[in-house]
Structure 1
Amino acid sequence: MNYLDWIVVVVYLAGMIALAVHLGKSQKNGGDYYLGGNDVNYFAIAISTMATQCSTNSLLGAPAFVIASGGLLWLQNELAVPLAMIGVMIFLLPFFRKQNIISVYEYLEKRFGVGTRTFMSVVFQILRAFATGVTVYGISIVLQEITGMEFWLAALILGVITIIYDMFGGMKAVIYSDIIQMVVLYGGIAICLYYAVTLTGGWTEVWNLLPADKANALDFSHHGLGDGKDYAFWPMLIGGFFLYVSYYGCDQTQVQRELSSKSIDDTNMSLFINGILRFPLVITYCLVGVAIAAFIIKNPEFLNAIPKNADGAINYNLTVPQFCIMYLPHGVIGLIMIALFSAAMSSLDSTINSLSATTMRDIVERFFVKEPLSEENQLFISRSLTVFWGVVCVIFSFFVGNIGDSIIEAINKIGSLANGSILATFLLAILTRRANGRGTVIGIICGFAFNVYLWLYFPKVSWLWWNLFGCVITFVSGYVFSILLGGEKHNPDEIDDLIFSSNAKSFFNYKKNWPVYYAILVGYFGFMIYMLSVISSLGAK
C-alpha cells in the first residue's frame, strides 16, 4: 500500500465518524439510541442486516473454502435463508416487535420469569463478546500480513473507530454506516472479481480451468449423518434452516435492528428483502474464489506469495487480499482495504451496540436502578456501556490467538452447539402454554449436552445437524420437564399476547398479505436450486 491507498482509508474512516456525530444529535433517550426512535426504513434495515452477515470471516473464508476445499458447495448454505425468513416472519419477530421491547430477552421474562431472562442474556453477552474478539483478531491478522502494520495497531484502529461512531450514533449509525459499508464492500468484491477474471483470460477460460469437483454446487449423494460430509445438501438445508432461524430470530445483534422498524409490517418486509438479496451477494464473493482458483491453476507461482501459517501450510484465508495487493492498482487497493475494514466494522458495530442494550435493559435497569432514569442518564449510561463492550471485544482479540488457530475455524461449530437450544427456548415460550422457566432451562442443558456428545464421539456427523438436534431435544425435554416439575401457573389472559395465534392477520394487525410474500420466498428457494444446478453444469467436464 502507498500514500494514495492510505488517503482513501483515512477519508473513509473519518467520514464514518462524521456521519455518526451527525446522527447522534437527534438522540434523546435509550429508545432513540438502541432502536433509532423506531423510525428506520425497512430497506435500510435489510441492507444493514446483510452487511452484518457479510463479516470478514465470510468475505475471506468463503473464497478460501472454494479455492482450497469444497468449491461451490458452500452456496448450498444459502438455500435455507429464504425458508428461514418465513419461519422468523411467522413465529418470532412479530411477537417481539408487538411488545415494544429493546432486549429480546425481555420477552422471556414475561413468559418464564427473570431467571430465564438473565441466564440467556448473560450467556449471550459472554459468548458474543468472545466471538467478536475472534473477528477483530482475524481482520487484524490480515492487515498485519498484508500491510505490515503491527497487530496491536490494526486492532486498535479497527476498535477505536468503530467504538467512536457507535458511541455517538447508536443504532442509526450502525444501520446507515452498514449501508455505506455494504456499497463499498460489494464494490470491492466486484472489482476484485473483474481483475481475477480478466487476468485469467475471461470467464470461458475460468470455467475451462476450474476442476469439475470445485464447480459442483449441489451434493445430493451424501447426508452428513456419519459419512464425514459436513457440506452435503441435506445438512446444509435442514441444519442451515434451524441455524438461520435462530440467528435472525433469536440473536440480539440481528433482532435489535429489526425492532427499530416503524411497524410490524416493516419488520417483516426487511426480513423478506434480506431473504431475496443475500444470495446474489454470496454468489459474487464465491465467484471471486472460483476466478482466483482458476488463476492459481494458470499461475501456480502465486501460491508462493500467499502468507503461511505457523506450521508452514498456506493460509488460504489471505488469498483474496494478497491477490489484490499484488495485481490491483494503487487507490483501488485502498478501496479493497476499506472493504475488509467494512466487513469487520459492520459486525463489530452491531455487536457492541447489542451488548450495550442487553446489559442496560437486562442487568442495569432490571437490578440496579430503583427509580426510572432521566433521558439524559439513559443516554449517558448507554453510550458508556457501548464503550465498555467495545474495549472488552478489542481486549479479547489480543488473547484468542494464543488459544490456537483452530479457534477461528471452530467458532461456527461452537455456535451450532447452542443455536438450536436457543431457538427452542423461544419456541417453547411462543408455541406452548405449559412450558415454564424451570423445565426450559433443563431442556437447554439437555440439548447442549447432546450436541457436545456428538462433537466428542461422533465427529463424522455434520456439525450443521447440531442445530436441528439441539432444537428438537431442547423443545421436547423442556416441555416434558415443565409438565413433570410443574411451576408457576399463568392466567390465560396474561399470556394471550405472548402466544402464537393462528389468526395472525388480526393478532398483529398486519396491513400486508404476508402469505403472498411467503409464497414468493418458497419460489425463490426453487429458483436458487435451479441456479446452483446451472452453475454445476457449467463446470461439468
Structure 2
Amino acid sequence: MQQIDWMVLIGTLTFIVLYGTYKSRGSKSVSDYLKSGNDAKWWTIGLSVMATQASAITFLSTPGQAFHDGMGFVQFYFGLPIAMIIICMVFIPLYHKLKVYTAYEYLESRFDLKTRTLTAILFLIQRGLAAGITIFAPAIILSAVLGWNLLYLNVIIGVLVIIYTVSGGTKAVSVTQKQQMGVIFLGMLFAFLLILNYLPLDISFSKALQIAGSNGKMEILDFSFDFENRYTFWSGIIGGSFLALSYFGTDQSQVQRYLSGRSVRESQLGLVMNGLLKVPMQFFILLVGVMVFVFYQFNSSPLHFNPAAVKDVMASEYASKYVALEADKKALEQDIRTKQLQFARTEDASEANRIQQEITQLNKTESRLRETGRTLIKKANPEAETNDKDYVFIHFILNNLPRGIIGLLLAVILSAAMSSTASELNALGSTTAIDLYKRNTPGRTEKHYVRASKWFTLLWGVIAIGVASVANLFDNLIQLVNIIGSIFYGNVLGIFLLAFFIKYVRSQATFVAALITQVLIVIVWYIDLMPYLWLNVVGCALVMGLALLIQTFSSNKS
C-alpha cells in the first residue's frame, strides 16, 4: 500500500466515526438512544437495513464464492422480497402499535416473562457470535494478505465501532450507515469498471459473459430438488423466505432499524426499498466475482490465494512439488489465454463450440492443479486453512487496482464490517438493557437506563472482540454467519408465528416446545442431516408442531 491508500483509508474511517459521534450526541431518553427519537425517514431505514446485513463478509466472501462456483448463490436471496411483504403487513404495524423497544417485549404480553427471556437469550447467543465473526472476517483476511497483526486488527475494528455506537446509540448507527453504504457502492462500482477496462480490447462485456457462461459461472437458477445442493431455487424461495422472515422480523439488529421510523409507512417503505434492491445488489457483487474469474482467464493468478497457507507449504518438504505445480499452472494459463482469445474472435459457431470445449477441459485441469496444491498445503500443515474463497477478491484488489483505489476498497471492507457490527452491538445492548435489565429492575430514571444501555453495548463490544480473537476460519465466512443464524432463527420465528396467529397455544407449551426444538436443531446441524437453509423451515415447523401437540395434550389432560 502507498501513502495515498493510507490517506484514503484512514481519512474515510475517521470521518465516519467522528460524523456518527457528532450527529448523534445528546441522547437524553431511552427513546432517543434506542429508537433515534422515532425520526428516521424511509431511505435512512432502507439503507440502514441493507448496511446491517451487508457486512465485510459480503464484500470479501461473495466475489470469491462467484469466482469458484458462479452466480448460483444469488438464489439464497430469492425469498427476501416475500419476507419483506409479510413483515410490512404483519410485524411492523404490530410493533408500532405496541410502541416496543425490542421485538421480544411483545412475547411477554402474549405469553409470559420466561418465554420473552428465552427468546431474547437465543438472540443474544447467536448475534453475539455473529458480531465477533463480522469483526474477525476482515481482520483475518487483511492480516494474512497485508501481514498486519490479527489481534490488533480485531481490537482496532471493534474499538472504532464501540466509540460511536456507545456514544450515540441507534441514531449514530443509522447516520453512519448512510455514509458507509455510499463508500461501499462507490468502491464496488469502481472495481467492476476497472475489471472490464483491464480485459483485452476485443473482449467486450457481452464476450466476458460468454466466457463466464462457457465455464458454468452464469448458471443462476437450479430447479432441482437435490437435497445435497445448498443453493437451489427451492431452498432460496422456501428456506430463504423463512430465514429472511426470522432475520428481518425477529432479529433485534434489524427490528431496531425500522422501529426508529417516524411512522408505520416510513418503516414499511424502508423495508420495501430493501426488498427491491437487495437481490440486485447481491447479483452485482456476485457478477464482480465472475468478472474477476474472467480477468484471470487472461492474467496470471496464484495457485492458492491465501498467502499464509502458501508460506506454510513453501517452508516444508513439499516446497519443490508445490513449485512444480505452479510451473504447470503458469504454462496452462498461457494455453487458456490463447484459447479464450480465439473463442472471442471466431465468428463460426461450430468452431466456437469446439474451442469452448477445449477451454472447459483446460479449466478443469487448472481446478485439479489447485486441488493438488490444497492437498500439499494440508500435508505441510494439517491446521492450515486450505479454502481460499475469501482471499480471491482481496488478492485482486491489492495486486491489480491503481493506488488510491486500493485504499478505497479497503475502506469498503472495513466500513462494511463497522456498519454491520455497529447494528449488532446496538441491538445486543438494547436487548440486554430492556428485556433483561429494565424488566427485572423497574422504577429507575431514564438517565439510568440510557447509561445502562451504553454500558451493555460496551460490554457486548468487548465480548465481540473476544470472540473475534479466538475464532477460526470456516469453509466460507458468508456461509458461517448464515449457518449460525439458521440454527436459531427457525425456532425464534416459530415462537413469533405462534404468538401472532395461533391464540390456542399458551405460554408453557410454547416454552417447552422451544427448548426441545433448539436442542433437536443443534443435533440435526451437528450430524449434517440437511443443508443449513432448511434448518429455518424445520425449526419453525418443529416448534409450532410441538407447541400444538403439548397444548392439546395439556388441555385434554385437564
Match of 2:209 in 1: 207
The one-letter code sitting in structure 2 at the alignment partner of 1:122 is I
How do residues 109-508 of structure 1 correspond to structure 2 at under 5 angstroms?
109-201=108-200, 202-210=204-212, 211-220=214-223, 222-225=224-227, 228-303=228-303, 306-307=306-307, 309=309, 311=384, 313=386, 315-367=388-440, 369-373=441-445, 375-401=446-472, 405-406=474-475, 408=477, 409-457=479-527, 459=529, 461-485=530-554
1:17 aligns with 2:17: yes
1:483–1:141 Cα change, 3 Å:
same
State the distance in 2 between where 1:486 and 1:78 align.
41
What per-residue deviation string (whole Å, max 9, x for no partner) do you get for residues 178-202 of structure 1? 1111110111111111122222234
C-alpha displacement at 1:358, in angstroms? 0.7
Q: Distance in 1 between matches of 2:150 and 2:456?
A: 25
Give 1:234 deviation, angstroms: 0.7
Alignment of 1:65-80 (within 5 A): 65-69=65-69, 71-80=70-79
Aligned to 2:376: none
3-state SS in 2 of match to 1:426 = helix
* Offset from partner CA, 1:438-463 (integer Å, 9 cap, x none): 1112222343344345435564x332
Question: Is the alpha carbon distance of 1:314 and 1:131 closer, same or farther for their aligned partners in structure 2, counting shifts above 3 Å?
Answer: closer
Residues 32-51 of structure 1 show CA distances to partners (whole Å, capped at 9, x for unaligned) of: 01100011111101111111
Question: 1:320 Cα shift?
Answer: 0.9
Q: Structure 1 length normalisation: TM-score? A: 0.84
Letter in 1 for 2:540: C
CA contact (8 A) 1:185 1:342 kept: yes
Instruction: Name the aligned partner's letter for residue 254 of structure 2.
Output: Q
Q: Shift of residue 270 of structure 1?
A: 1.1
Residue-by-residue CA offset, 1:328-383 (whole Å, 9 max, x unaligned) = 1111111101100111111100011111101110111111x24232x332322222
SS at match of 2:503: coil
Deviations 1:94-133 (A, max 9, x none): 2112111111111111111110111111221122111211
Deviation, 1:307, is 2.8
What amino acid is the match of 2:156?
I
Partner amino acid for 2:196? V
The runs of 5 or more residues in structure 2 that have no matched partner are 310-382
Whether the aligned pair in 2 keeps the contact of 1:16 and 1:165 (CA below 8 Å) is no
Judging changes above 3 Å, is the alpha-carbon distance between structure 1 residues 301 and 38 closer, same or farther for their aligned structure 2 residues?
A: closer
- Is residue 44 of structure 1 aligned with residue 117 of structure 2? no
Total equivalences in the alignment: 479
Residue 209 of structure 2 aligns with an amino acid whose one-letter code is W
Task: Please list the CA deviations of residues 12-51 of structure 1 after superposition, one character each: whole Å capped at 9, or x if unmatched.
Answer: 2221222223223341111101100011111101111111
Asked whether the 8 Å contact 1:307–1:314 carries over to 2, the reply is: no
Q: State the 1:88 CA deviation.
A: 1.1
Change in 2 beyond 3 A, CA 1:366/1:111: same
**1:248-297, CA deviations, whole angstroms, 9 ceiling, x for partnerless residues?**
00100000111111111222111111111112211211111110111222
Q: CA deviation at 1:155?
A: 1.0
Deviation at 1:163, TM superposition (A): 0.4
Deviation at 1:407, TM superposition (A): 8.8
The answer to whether the 8 A contact 2:61-2:476 is kept is no
Q: Which amino acid aligns with 1:379?
A: V
Structure with bigger gyration radius: 2
C-alpha separation in 2, matches of 1:312 and 1:253: 31
Contact 2:389–2:476 (8 Å) recurs in 1: no
Unaligned 5+ runs, structure 1: 490-541
Task: Encode CA deviations 1:224-256: one digit per residue, 9 max, x unaligned.
Answer: 43xx11111111111101110000001000001
**In 2: Cα distance, 1:476 partner to 1:312 partner:** 41
Rate the CA distance shift 1:411–1:184 in 2: closer, same or farther, 3 A: closer
The answer as to whether partners of 1:400 and 1:407 remain within 8 angstroms in 2 is no
Relative distance call for 1:49 and 1:186 in structure 2 (3 A) is: same
Q: What amino acid is aligned across from residue 443 of structure 2 in structure 1?
A: E
Residue 499 of structure 1 is matched in structure 2 by: none
Quote the residue 1:31 is aligned against.
Answer: 31
Tell me the distance in 1 between the aligned counterparts of 2:463 and 2:62. 28
8 A Cα contact 1:76 1:236, kept in partner: yes
Query: Residue 312 of structure 1: CA displacement?
Result: 6.6
Deviation at 1:146, TM superposition (A): 2.9
Q: Distance in 1 between matches of 2:516 and 2:509?
A: 11
Whether the aligned pair in 2 keeps the contact of 1:67 and 1:290 (CA below 8 Å) is yes
Greater Cα offset, 155-164 or 77-86: 77-86
Name the counterpart of 2:370.
Answer: none
Distance 1:147 1:84 in 2: 40
CA–CA separation in structure 2 for the residues paired with 1:348 and 1:426: 25
User: In structure 2, do the counterparts of structure 1 residues 429 and 361 end up closer, same or farther at CA, with 3 Å as the change threshold?
Assistant: same
Show the counterpart of 1:495: none
Output the amino acid matched with 1:318: Y
Please tell me whether the aligned partners of residues 40 and 260 of structure 1 are also in contact (alpha carbons under 8 angstroms): yes
3-state DSSP of counterpart to 2:45:
helix
Give the Cα separation in 2 of the matches to 1:127 and 1:97: 25
Q: TM-score if structure 2 supplies the norm length?
A: 0.82
Go from structure 1 to structure 2 and tell me whether the alpha carbon gap of 1:325 and 1:73 turns closer, same or farther (over 3 Å shift). same
Could you say what secondary structure the match of 1:219 adopts? Answer: coil
Amino acid at match of 1:331: G
CA distance, structure 1, for counterparts of residue 466 and residue 528 of structure 2: 35
Taking only aligned residues, the RMSD between alpha carbons, in angstroms, comes to 2.1
Q: Give the Cα separation in 2 of the matches to 1:302 and 1:275.
A: 37
Report % sequence identity. 30
Q: 2:186 & 2:167 partners in 1: Cα distance?
A: 27
Question: Which residue in 2 is equivalent to 1:494?
Answer: none
Report if aligned partners of 1:43, 1:270 keep a CA contact under 8 Å in 2: yes
What is the letter of the counterpart of residue 257 of structure 1?
A: R
Where 1:313 maps in the other structure, the secondary structure is coil
Q: Contact 1:446–1:473 (CA<8 Å) still a contact in 2?
A: no
C-alpha distance in 2, partners of 1:337/1:80? 31
Q: Is the 8 A contact 1:57 1:138 kept in 2?
A: yes
